[in-house]
Structure 1
Amino acid sequence: MSDNDRQNGPDNGGGNPWLKSLLIWVGILAALALFVTLFEGPGTQASGGSIAYSEFLDKLESGQVKDAAVTPGSGPITGTLADDTKFRTNNPGDPQLVNKLQEKNVVITARAEETPSVWVYLLYQSLPFLLFLGIAFFVLRQMQKNSGSGAMGFGKSRARLLTQKEGKVTFDDVAGIDEAREELQEIVEFLKDPTKFARLGGKIPKGALLVGSPGTGKTLLARAIAGEAGVPFFTISGSDFVEMFVGVGASRVRDMFEQAKKSAPCIVFIDEIDAVGRSRGAGLGNQNDEREQTLNQLLVEMDGFEANEGIIIIAATNRPDVLDPALLRPGRFDRQVVVPTPDIEGRVKILQVHMRKVPLAPDVDPRVIARGTPGFSGADLANLVNEAALLAARRGKRLVAMSEFEEAKDKVMMGAERRSMVMTEDEKRMTAYHEAGHAIVALHEPASDPIHKATIIPRGRALGMVMRLPERDSYSYHRDKMHANLAVSMGGRVAEELIFGYDKVSSGASGDIQSATRLARAMVTMWGMSDTIGPLELTYADDSYLGQAGLRNAPMSNRTAQVIDKEIKRLVESGLTRARDVLTEQLDKLHLLAEALLEYETLSGDEIKRLVTSGDIGREDSTGLHTPAPAAGTSIPKTRRRKGPFGNPAPQGA
């Protein structure tokens, strides 16, 4: 049986479905034509135009009728006029009609009265009903075929067989998750050469559960296994099993395994298995009865009395905590493969895979992009490369440069630029000093990550940003880096207070205050970084301290809660004090960097370091000359000023 026959199923009979549909529609049109022809009758088919009976009598009196065919009774009258024109009219039953025709010497032809047979009569009466029934049957058959095969196809499996024609994926297309790939590569070796392992008593794994966050490449891994092994690959979603009718899901599970047995050895991939694999008994009443029956049937098929040899189940989920324990035991899912978000080396490899089809400029460095995308999954990185290519195409470029990748990264992380946003000169000036405060404190905190760039162009909900990139992925935080991050978070607010005064401090530091408070709370209640509290865990963590879920307080006394609040306040204020000490000492550099941000809008990390150390950002303007940034307290010369981010001239310096 060919792959095409397997995919189409036995109902197709190996024929062309398009040809079958065409023949059915031709049959329907032919039946409609027959229906119209039968109801027209022989009188309608006769040649000649229809005229009124009074007009016929007028023409007869004037001698214009040459011949006429008369039916006894009230049948139709047809004939020819003197000018050889055909005519037709109805006889109202005039008994003197024949005499009138004889008086005018009209050639008379007597036509026998037609009596339709009973079969023709029955055909006339039943043809509309038969035609309607045929159309309804055809439409119903097409709907059932599209929704799941056959007249009683509710219990048929919706698993789809993927063939190599639909795009072969191999392990060369999977990058950044080497450990997960090595775990699954053994399954490929099992499928290719099972005797190699059978000699030592090894058995092929029955199932592998891929666990990971969305976009990490679970489905891609499953397709790579099928591509490497060269075996049939059935794919289905967990939600395809569940229907409103009880027992349909279990029937579909049985049918899926029956199909897989015919194609063994093969791989069955169930995506989002948590749709049917949730723990049993968790619902109220019988609400989950259908899902539990489906799960029971799946458990029996995977490891029941009848062994399904040669069928490997690969399932994917991002919610392993809700799965039923019976589904996770060895014998059903022998391996649980964690597919994590890639580290920096993995992100470099993933970017290189997605950049194969993109024409790159010489300045593109995947490692720099990987450093700036911590926590990105494979899907996020693919989206980043695509956004960069689209941006270069909009600009009419033939190569995708590093500038497009930087803009695409900022767009993915924070949203598109909001250059149409209207801000006053004071707000832009305050934003420049706010971001300059973050950057200056980060430069003078040894434990802080290096600055990648600073900008005052609004993106998303942020009016500006200072991006710091770690040299490598961090898996633990040290105390000195925590205190450095607290100081950097408070740098923007301290800069506003030093330059504009206590009463002019804005609400722009709300996000900084939120992140600093979360970090301080985690230091006190989770990581034992408070000498007063000691090494105690006093929170339930739903996620990391930067997660959206936040932290929930564990049961504690009011006195302990007060001590925690005091310690959190002490840590945040210590960061505020460190930031104030740095900015007070480096006030001239704060002015210098803020002036440069007001003029150039965006500065890279190297330009900021060069500006702080030598007063020159090293950038060439349109004339090709180096344009040093202005000294603190001076204004920008009008000859060097350009349009700001909102169409207005860049503002004067402080």
Structure 2
Amino acid sequence: MSENPTPNKDPQGNPWMKSLFIWAGILLALILFVQIVDGGSRSSAGAGAIAYSDFLNRVDEGSVKEVAIGKEVISGKLTSGESFKTNAIFDPELPSRLRQRGVNFSGEPEQTTSVWLILLYQSLPFLLILAIAFFVMRQMQKNAGSGAMGFGKSKAKMLTEKHGRVTFDDVAGIDEAREELQEIVDFLKDPTKFARLGGKIPKGALLVGSPGTGKTLLARAIAGEANVPFFTISGSDFVEMFVGVGASRVRDMFEQAKKNAPCIVFIDEIDAVGRHRGAGLGNGNDEREQTLNQLLVEMDGFEANEGIIIIAATNRPDVLDPALLRPGRFDRQVVVPRPDIEGREKILAVHMKKVPLAPDVDARTIARGTPGFSGADLANLVNEAALLAARMGKRLVAMNEFELAKDKVMMGAERKSMVMTEDEKKSTAYHEAGHALVSLHVPGCDPLHKVTIIPRGRALGVTWNLPERDRYSMSMKQMKARLALCFGGRIAEQIIYGPDELNTGASNDIQQATEMARAMVMEYGMSEKLGWLRYRDNQDEVFLGHSVARTQSISADTAKLIDDEVRRLIEEAEATARKVLTENLDQLHRLAGALLEYETLNGEEAKKAISGDDIGRDDTDSKRLVLPTAGSSIPTTRKPRGGGIGGAAPQGA
């Protein structure tokens, strides 16, 4: 994002290739040194070397033509023209023997060695040692953040243009968060605009939001708009097992930031290092607390860090230390929420720019059918649709691919190869038909979007209801309707097969209904007998990997009253669902029959099936394997359906 060059960038090219050439040169020098030192001792070795006794025998035979006598080597030529050499031995009779045989002989001239060459030979080992030491030290300084000498160096990385510049045009669906952060961009572009009136830009901004809502993307967009250096680091990069390392890395990070000011430092997942000090069931973490203390000092201590703006992201603001959130450090907490339908439409438009779309694709329709989706979820949806179209060999991504991708993301992949018996398939059809029929007849239920008996994920079937618009709260009427919807499947099976044939398929429905009824009584004040009191704390504690709800101390009489009220809500919901299914039994049979024939029905098709109209589809072939059974009994041990009711649960449900 910045035009400034990256520090420690090697201007000569690839640093890996440069290191390879340096090590190759050192190895070659070592080989040359060994050859020089060892060459004298092996000078007599080679072609034509003979033993001294053989040399004397050849002299006596008269086959030696000429000889050159040296201090260490005797060389010469035979009468055949072949050269030879042998080691010299002190032999005073050799000259007379050569003279008797008529051999021409002479002394080998002494080779004078240069003084400089002798000095070079003797200093070469020391030069090699110094070169290796210099190279190692240089590499350790260059890679200070990853080497042993740079254990306390910061691991912050500077993003540059090659990483892809991101601007506010690439961020959609979070307009309020963009507006709050626009001031930081304006300050980095023109600081005098605010200094003229005595205003000071916030030193830090904390981005708070659920995973995937675009906190990191928003931080990169700020740096891209301001066109300033952008350092990024994760909160876990500070903490090590050795006390004091994290604090050292914090100091080094701010030193780097000062050299590149004005700049932005982005700390992702700051809750890894900024947790509340002294909290927890055991002793405090000294390393983490020292790291946090150093971060607090650097952000607002005696020495002011002008021009350095800290942006941090977390999805757990409740666990952060209060000293970190006070004005002067993180002055602002910018909430990055899940987008509404308008925001989802804009986010889809951003991601759809990279995908060739068919004319029938409507981003508004897709946005309406994806309540609760974050920006990352929508990006994944577009990618899944593109991959699905590619597998089918299509050149354009049509609306059908987006619908299939949405079903896969929200409900899991279809398991068409799953082997089911006819009784299991029929029981699943009546179960899902019961859910769908209750949702169509009970006021307060969300509109029916889709019902299927094709196994998806861990569910044998899914009934999917979607609200007409984004919902941020639920009324008592809507929650009671959802309770009745939960029991539609179990009661439909009970009506068709009798109470003795109940199975484990409704376990998830019962779990959802129980949790919702208990929340209505203990949290939402929807019980006249208990009044508008809260009997359960907001937060959950994590102990040994399990979430434990903290319940206030209540008397035994109050606990019994809570259980009675929960049971009353459950029994009312059961009665409502039973009444709907009993009065509309013929519609239940027609809808279950349509599900057995088509396997998947949307809301309009389900209404046509209930009224007995023709659905108007020809895809009646079932791709799943169905095993015939001799009897009509339903197995009582089957996998839980899990997804008795589908769709995203609104807040407060």
TM-score bracket, shorter-length normalisation: 0.7 to 0.9
- The offset of 1:45, in angstroms, is 7.0
State the shift of 1:468 in Å: 0.9
The aligned residue for residue 645 of structure 1 is: 624
Distance 1:38 1:364, change over 3 A: same
- Please state whether the residue corresponding to 2:232 is helix, strand or coil: strand
Q: CA deviation at 1:99?
A: 6.6
Q: Deviations over 1:555-578 (max 9, x none)?
A: 212222222222212211222222
Change (3 A) 1:85 1:491: farther
What amino acid is the match of 1:556?
A: I
Q: Is the 8 A contact 1:141 1:151 kept in 2?
A: no
Deviates more, 1:146-155 or 1:416-425: 146-155
Matches within 5 A, 1:102-181: 107-108=104-105, 110-111=107-108, 131=128, 135=132, 138=135, 141-142=138-139, 145-146=142-143, 148=145, 152-181=149-178
Equivalent in the alignment of 1:186: 183
CA gap of 1:113–1:473, structure 2 versus 1, over 3 A, is same
Distance 1:643 1:133, change over 3 A: farther
Contact 2:340 2:371 in 1 (8 A): yes
Q: Indicate the SS of the match to 1:153.
A: coil
8 Å contact 1:141–1:150 — kept in the other structure? no
Deviation at 1:286, TM superposition (A): 8.4
Does residue 1:581 correspond to 2:579, yes or no? Answer: yes
- Secondary structure of the structure 2 residue equivalent to 1:498: helix
Evaluate the alpha carbon distance shift between residue 149 and residue 563 of structure 1 in structure 2; reply closer, same or farther with a 3 A threshold: closer
Cα 1:588–1:150, aligned 2, differ >3 Å: closer, same or farther?
A: closer
CA deviation after TM superposition for structure 1 residue 532, in Å: 2.9
Per-residue displacement from partner, 1:196-250 (whole Å, max 9, x unpaired)? Answer: 3333332222111111122211111111111111222222222333344443333
Q: Give the drift of 1:183.
A: 0.6
Is 1:292 aligned with 2:271?
Answer: no
1:371-390 pair list within 5 angstroms: 371-390=368-387
The reply on whether 1:493 has 2:476 as its aligned counterpart is: no
Map of 1:38 onto structure 2: 36
How many Å separate the matches in 2 of 1:23 and 1:126? 23
Structure 1 residue aligned with 2:650: none
Deviation at 1:519, TM superposition (A): 0.8
Q: Distance in 1 between matches of 2:629 and 2:124?
A: 83
Residue 199 of structure 1 corresponds to: 196
Deviation at 1:333, TM superposition (A): 1.4
Check conservation: 2:435, 2:487, Cα contact below 8 A. Answer: yes
Whether the 8 Å contact between 1:610 and 1:618 is mirrored in structure 2 is no
Shift of 1:92: 7.3
Bigger drift between 608-617 and 144-153 goes to 144-153
Amino acid in the other structure paired with 1:644 = K
Which residue pairs with 1:629 in the alignment?
none
Match among 436, 439, 444 for residue 441 of structure 2:
444
Please point out which of 588, 610, 613 is paired with 2:611: 613
Percent same amino acid among aligned pairs? Answer: 68
- Structure 2 CA distance for partners of 1:470 and 1:116, relative to 1, 3 Å: same
Normalising by the residue count of structure 2, what TM-score does the alignment of the two structures yield?
0.85
Q: Tell me which moved more, 177-186 or 78-87.
A: 78-87
Partner of 1:481: 478
Task: Encode CA deviations 1:48-92: one digit per residue, 9 max, x unaligned.
Answer: 5265637767766766655554444xx455554555555555567
Distance 2:311 2:63 in 1: 91
For residue 117 of structure 1, report the CA deviation from its aligned partner: 10
String of CA shifts for 1:528-574, please: whole Å, max 9, x gaps.
Answer: 2223333222222437xxxx958553221222222222221221122
Q: Partners in 2 of 1:557 and 1:88 — Cα distance?
A: 112
Is 1:273–1:317's contact at 8 Å kept on the other side of the alignment? yes
Mapped contact 1:174–1:220 kept (Cα < 8 A): yes
Instruction: Report the equivalent of 1:457.
Output: 454
Q: Which residue of 1 aligns with 2:422?
A: 425
Distance 1:187 1:91 in 2: 89
- Is the Cα contact below 8 Å between 2:421 and 2:627 reproduced in 1? no
Aligned AA for 2:7?
A: N
The 3-state SS of whatever aligns with 2:311 is strand
Aligned partners of 2:251 and 2:298 also within 8 Å:
yes
The 2-side partners of 1:83 and 1:485 are apart by 114
**Inter-CA distance 293–531: structure 2 relative to 1 (3 Å threshold):** closer
Question: In structure 2, what is the Cα distance between the partners aligned to 1:652 and 1:123?
Answer: 100
State how far apart, in whole Å, the 2-side matches of 1:407 and 1:358 are: 16
515, 518, 528: which is aligned to 1:518? 515
CA displacement, residues 605-645 of structure 1 (integer Å, 9 cap, x when unaligned) = 22112222342112245xxxxxxxxxxxxxxxxxxx63432
**What's the CA shift string for 1:126-178, capped at 9, x where partnerless?**
86787577557645654663351788434433322222342111111111111
Higher relative contact order (CA 8 A, sep 6+): 2
Q: Give the whole-Å Cα distance in 2 for the aligned partners of 1:489 and 1:59.
A: 114
Q: CA deviation at 1:329?
A: 1.0
- SS state of the match for residue 8, structure 1? coil
Are residues 156 and 3 of structure 1, via their aligned partners in 2, closer, same or farther at CA, if it must alter by over 3 Å?
farther
Indicate how the Cα distance of structure 1 residues 79 and 289 shifts in structure 2: closer, same or farther if over 3 A, else same: farther
Which stretches in structure 2 are left out of the alignment for 5+ residues?
Answer: 541-545, 634-653
**For the Cα contact (< 8 Å) 1:253–1:294, is it kept in 2?**
yes
After the TM superposition, which of the residue ranges 520-529 and 283-292 deviates more from structure 2?
283-292
How far apart are the structure 2 equivalents of 1:128 and 1:292? Answer: 50
SS of the residue 2:143 aligns to: helix
**In the alignment, is residue 314 of structure 1 matched against residue 311 of structure 2?**
yes
Task: Give 2:558's aligned residue.
Answer: 560
Q: Which moved more, 1:131-140 or 1:382-391?
A: 131-140
Deviations 1:99-124 (A, max 9, x none): 77666655545446889999989987
Q: Distance in 1 between matches of 2:238 and 2:183?
A: 29
Aligned-pair Cα RMSD in Å: 3.6
Matches within 5 A, 1:42-121: 49=47, 53=51, 66-72=65-71, 75-80=72-77, 84-87=81-84, 89-90=86-87, 107-108=104-105, 110-111=107-108
Aligned counterpart, 1:416 = 413
Deviation string, structure 1 residues 361-391 (Cα, Å, up to 9, x no partner)? 2232323333333322211221222122122
Task: Find the residue that maps to 2:261 and give its secondary structure.
Answer: coil
| Residue of 566, 569, 572 corresponding to 2:570 | 572
| Aligned pairs, number | 625
Q: What SS does the aligned partner of 1:337 have?
A: strand
Which has the higher mean CA deviation after the structures are superposed, 121-130 or 336-345?
A: 121-130
Alpha carbons of 1:48 and 1:34: their partners in 2 closer, same or farther (altered >3 Å)? closer
Partner of 1:218: 215
Tell me how far 1:194 sits from its aligned partner: 2.7
1:475: how far off? 1.2
Q: Give the whole-Å Cα distance in 2 for the aligned partners of 1:127 and 1:247.
A: 43
Post-superposition offset of 1:426 = 1.4
Report the Cα distance in structure 1 between the residues aligned to 2:95 and 2:424, rounded to whole angstroms. Answer: 108
The residue that corresponds to 1:397 in the other structure is 394
Distance across 1 between alignment mates of 2:89 and 2:62: 21
Q: TM-score, normalised by structure 1?
A: 0.85
Distance 1:84 1:529 in 2: 119
Q: Which amino acid aligns with 1:8?
A: P
**Structure 2 Cα separation of the partners of residues 17 and 373 of structure 1:** 47
* Matches of 1:644 and 1:650, distance apart in 2: 18
